[in-house]
Amino acid sequence: MKKMEQRFMDINEASELCGYSKNYFRKLCNNYNIPRYGPSLNRYSSDDLKKFMYDKQYFIDLPKFSKNRNLIKLEV
């Protein structure tokens, strides 16, 4: 049996996959800790979204994802 390849998608594709409007999906992402990927943290994994649709409770306990906004000290 061939394993499905993990696919990364933007919020439009992700909300469509889950069957929600873009605004409602954004609210769900804020309430549940759905992992985000990419440099701008604006991509969602199809595998994670399928897990989310099957068991939303799993994503409540995951840590929040956020960008690292700490300043880096550079020596010149």
- State the residue range of the domain holding 20: 1-76
d(CA 32, CA 68) in angstroms, rounded, equals 20
Contact 52, 32 (CB under 8 A): yes
Q: What is the mean pLDDT of the chain?
A: 82
Of the two residues 61 and 53, the one the predictor is more confident about is: 53
Which residues neighbour 61 within 8 Å (Cβ) at sequence distance 6 or greater?
33
User: How many domains would you assign to the chain?
Assistant: 1
Summarize pLDDT for 11-50 with one digit per residue, the tens. Answer: 999 999 999 999 999 998 888 888 888 888 889 999 999 9
Confidence (pLDDT) at 13: 94
- pLDDT exceeds 50 at position 1: no
